[in-house]
Structure 1
Amino acid sequence: MDGARTVLLLSCWLWCVQGLQVDVSPRRPLFPLGSRRRLLCSARDCDAPPPHVAWTPPGDRPLGGAVEAGDGGAAAAVTFDPVAAEHEGALQCRVVCGDQIKHVTVRVRVYALPSPPLVSGLDRLLSGSEAVLTCRAPGAHPEDRVRLSWLRGGREVQSGSEYRFGVSRDDRGAEVTCRASLDLDLGGPDQNLTRETTVRLEPLAPPTPPSLLLLPGPDVLEGGHVTLSCQSDGAPPPTLVLKREGAELRRAGPAPSSFTSSLSFNFTAAPEDSAHYTCEATNQLGSEVATATVNVRAHPLQLDASPELWAELGSALLLSCRASGCEEPPELTWSRSDPDQDPDRDQDRVLQTSREPDGRSQLRVGDLGPEQRGGFACRARCQGVTRERLVRVQVYAFPSDPVLSGPAPSPLLIGRPSSLLCVAPSVLSPNGARLRWLWAGLTLASRTFEFSGHPRNLSLELQLQVDQGPAQDQDQIQDQVRVRVRLGDPVELSCEAELLGDDGATWRSRRRSVELEVQAPPMPPSLLLLPGPDVLEGGHVTLSCQSDGAPPPTLVLRREGAELQRAGPAPSSSSSVLTFNLSSAALEDSAHYSCEAANQHGSKMAAVTLRVKAPPRNTRVLVLPSAVVPLGHNVTVWCRSAGWPPPALTLTRLADGARLPRPPGGDVDGGFLLVDVRPEDGGRYRVNASNELGSEVTHFRITVTGPGPGPLLLAVPAVCALAALLASALLLEYLRRSRKKGFYQLAPSGLERR
């Protein structure tokens, strides 16, 4: 009993001595970056009131985590999610229990080694030189605690971020490890504090000089088997290229999982295989070349055959070839050789095989059709050597000359476009055909045709326009051809159909020609007046008219619209000519003369004016309304005189010599008006008509009566009517002769007095 009491008293004493306790878990926090971690602070041995626990960072640094209270306030946890570098540092847990306050400080440390280290510099490994490999641990924290080391064969050979070593070919395939460690001295998990990266060394090396082997040797007989073999080492493995006289024959890439590249090329020797062969080994570090020469001796086997034969559609043909230079009868094979099919299928097209002692072979092909195009091959085989000759059989069809039609519209007319058509029927030509329109050695139009293997009708249309010109010539405007010819010359056109050879030249041709008459409307006639448009009365006058046309035009000569003479076309000529003579020109021959040229395609006209010179004559005077005039009335005097040049007229009163001025313009006819006549206006008057060839004088009288009604005044209306009729007749006559009218008005004092 005393012992138990003693233990209880001792426990109470210890509790009273120890007092408030604070626990932090974990006590030495070490958190990996990016993880979720929790730091717990709890209080115990605290009597009422309940304790208060809180986390606080020292200074002004933010806490950086989420705080959560628990156990009725006796614990507080701070959670970092995720853990970041700024969470590293000191944190303080403060516990208040009544009047007791206790602080516990812990230091949070963070670390990171997220991935294996990175090794660089492997692409710069070159045999025979020093290499530097570099290692780095991206994202490691803290950086000053990272330790880098290099291992080869399981043992450490160097420390630090760089590994320097001499490179040799023996290093191919060797492994090097870079180890990154975090030295935290906290006994953390090894797998989180150490990372390793192992790399394989592949040192680079230029190609070795290739070995080029030639089997069975450099000299070989035509038909023998030849093998060229090439080999070279390198890192990376080189690419091999075999060439003959610079032309690539074969290419071989590097072999997988090997530093050696090899190439092999086999062929059956032919004369053209005699050449220089090269094998080039290449990688990014350089290249090496080896060379060999092959000399192929020709086999004496020869094969002769005609290279090309032409045969008409539907005919038969005998093909022949002959082999020589073989010690035993050669095997001769005829087969179809179609360039549009695979040559490896020749055996499927064999037509005939033979062995003749004389080395000859003949093949008969009958009823040739378009399907025989492509040719026939004759092959000779002797001691493994093959000779082949291709006989091309050209099947053609060219049954007749071209057929011509046109022109349309007909006939061929100067200046009017026409169409002509040329058709070559049922033509077949393997190398194509051509149609040409020809004129005077010139090609007016041309077209080339191709064939799909069957005969066809060929056609070529010519759009032609013939113009008149001094010489034969031609040009082209868009799709129309224009030729120039002399009027009356026929146009001979030819259409030529041509079969073409391989070189595009004419191999065979047919031609059809046609002579076309060219017609044309009349040309504007030339109307000549000899000796000229002005001639003296009684002189000789010749009118000559000429015009061209096809057919030659009819000429009609007219005077003032009335026909004088007609002339038909001249024989064997495209020109028409008309001549009209006036042996003694009279004044009434002065007129307009016209010459009209006409044929069925149109008409043209030319005109001239003839003027016959003569002195004035037949001067006439007409006084209206009468020569007896009442005082104060008006009177009109009309004068007319014939002659050329038009006579000048003067009117003079003889009583006092008063004269009217000469009418302006020198008109042939003059009209004079006396207004409000007076007694002194009565008396005799003289009319004088004159030109450069002479003059003529005429007299008349005017009587002035007193005023008042009388028989004379009663007769005035009748006289006026008669005068109007006469004046109208004179005007019509004047208009018919196309002469000008002169009109003058005299005032009472308008006469000159002497």
Structure 2
Amino acid sequence: MTPPPFSYKSDPELNERKHIKSALLSLLELFGCSSEVDSMDSALLLTLLLPVAVVSYVLDLPPQVLFKVGDRRQLSCRMSSCPEKVKFAWITLEDRPIFATIDTQDRESVLVFDSVMKNHENTLLCKAMCGKETKQAKTQIKTYSFPKKPVISGYDRLKLGEENILRCEGSSIHPSEMLEVQWLYGDTVLQSYEGQSERDAYSLPLKFTPSEEDDGKAITCRASLRVDNIPADEMTKETSAPMTVLSAPHNVKVSGATGVLRGSNLTLTCEAEGKPKPAFTWTALKPDGSSVEMGKHHDLFIQGVSLSDTGTYQCDVSNDLGNQKTSVSVVVQAPPMDTYIAVSPQSTPKEGDSVNISCKSIGVPVPYVVLSRMVNGVKTEILSSEGPEISVTIDSVKLADSGMFLCEAFNDYGKQNENLTLTVEAHLLEVALQPDVEVVLEKGSSLILSCQASGCPQPKFSWKNLSNMPILRRPKTDGFRSQLVFDRVELEDEGTYLCEVTCGSIKKSKQTEVKVFSFPMSPVVKNSGPSLVGEMMKLTCTAQEVFPANFFQILWMDGEREMHSETGPFSSGTINLTSEYSYHVNTTDQDKRITCKVSLKMHGVPAAQAVKTASTTLSVHYPPRATSITVSPLTELKEGESVSISCLSDSFPVGRTVLSRVMNGVQTKIMTNDRLETLYTIPSVELEDSGVYVCETSNMYGSHNDSVEITVKAPPRNTTVEIFPSKDVQEGQNITICCRSVSFPPPMVVLSKLDSEKNVYSLDGVFLLINLTPNDTGLYQINVTNYLGYETEIFNISVMEKRVNDPLGWNDFLIPAICLGVAAALLGLVVYVWRARKKGSYDLTKCNLSTV
């Protein structure tokens, strides 16, 4: 509540009197009379000094004022004793503006503060001039702000037993260093806070741990502003709030009877404390771990309970702050019920059997159970127990155990009984032996002879070997079965075995025969090694560790053809049975498989174990034969064509094949191979590849060869012409022309003068021109030709004329040239015949320069 504005204007006379007194005191101090004046009455002092005071003017201004922030306030400076208009001036003594409106009258100046603010605090000097006299007074303006009561938060959701934070807050406080804040609980100060400068707001936390008694009680926050002259009703402001203490459910308890009789009603009541008000849920906990919700009320009601309602019931109490559970065990009480008596096994027992008789009943509390037997109308107790079930076992029941058995159950609420009649029958002895037929098995295998007895509760077993051989195995007897276990059957285990069973005075037996054979592995076949065609090969077949040997047969076979057979001798133990067979080999026997088949002719031997075979492959050696050489595509080829030469031979072991070429009596090895077939390819044949090719195969037993001739043909090429002594000669000289060319078959060489129709032929490419004349000057052409093609060469001959004698004409050397040509042709023909026999490349005869 804001106090009404107040003014610092006082009674003028009173103020004036105060100022006069103050002035008089000052004057007396000047004369050293202040001590005497202190005790004087003010009125007396005024009377004594009044004549002096009336001559001074008084300036009326309070020395200090206190304004509330937000109020409208005024500050007045007055000189009422001045007979004329006073001049006023306001001066700030601090480095800040005045922030006020000045209203000046004749003898008064007023500062008007429309809305007081903190920055209006200042120290001011008021000067007043009355005529020539000037007076001044100082005043200090103070402000304060304390507008609202404290605000409390966190009081309405306090958690029981936990540390909570309450907060007291306020703002717009000035001067904040004069603030004091207190938390109070009743008359007890819980916490205090002193304000700090320049902080016009406060937030004071309080850590508070409530109890249940604190719920609804008030907590107070008191704020006080310790400023002088502040109105008493504004100095202190406080706020109180009732605390709300919240708590999770606690003090949970269940009331009601927990033991009820079957068929009656059950009521359980769950109570708990907590805020907010908790909710209740009843749940039945089953023995298998499952649960069933029973209701959501304080009370749980079950009408007409049964034994199945016995168990644990849980009350779950919860609110927003948590939950708590409590449980109670309910027992449903009942007299004995569902009483029964049973015998196991349920089938009619036979004498010597084991029988179990059980008696069972349910009830609450657990009934007392008694098992009895009725003999000639007299009840004889067999067994009793403080429990729901008892049983008795008769290990070997007798005929005398037949009769009535009685089961009785008692507890505090009643009794119940049941009975049954036990009938024991006699039984007949039966014996079974497995296997029950003749047993044939291999040495080292396993065997179990199992003798089974039935119809007798405690049979006795015995084993015998009817072959008068001792039994080397110890029987294993277990109840109604006895076994002879042969981990590894030996030859000594052969015989007839008898199992005899005794049941009291009754004896019964079964027998079986055991036969043993030995045929552990396949036979081993060996031969005498590689044989040449026509020789004898020795074969050996051995069947190892066989028994009985006289039941074995060895059969030698060529495919399906039987060649030889033998039967083994009698033996008392295992032996190695061997058969030898000699075989005459020829070339058709190469890689032939000869099989040795060993058979056990013994009844009962499994087919897979009765026959075993082994084979050997014959190896026949022979020298090379049927050697052949073939050429593809032809034996006569043109230069540049491709040709393949293939050598084929038959031998064992495979021989080494050598391909060679024979030319002019010289044999050149081309390639060597260690296979039956050899292939050699010339991608592009040349004249030099002509010749006789020989394919020869050899091994350790001999050799064999074959040959073929290959001819390579080519048109003339690489033709050159040489002229001796020169192309330029004197009239009357001779010239020898030599033409060289490579080709096959040998070419025909023709010389012609281009401006003449005459041609000269040569077989060896040599032309002799005799006694040349100037008319022989000109261009000449040589044409080298065979049936595959031709090649030409053109050259020039120059003959210079002699001045002494007349030049010779064409007729002068034509006849000698023809004679020489004929001679040369005959010589060339002889050479052609010789070279044709070479079947190789042909090169025209070289010139003999020494004859030119």
TM-score bracket relative to the smaller structure: 0.3 to 0.5
Larger radius of gyration: 2
With structure 2 as the length reference, what TM-score do the two structures score?
0.37
With structure 1 as the length reference, what TM-score do the two structures score?
0.41
Q: Higher RCO, 1 or 2 (CA under 8 Å, sep at least 6)?
A: 1
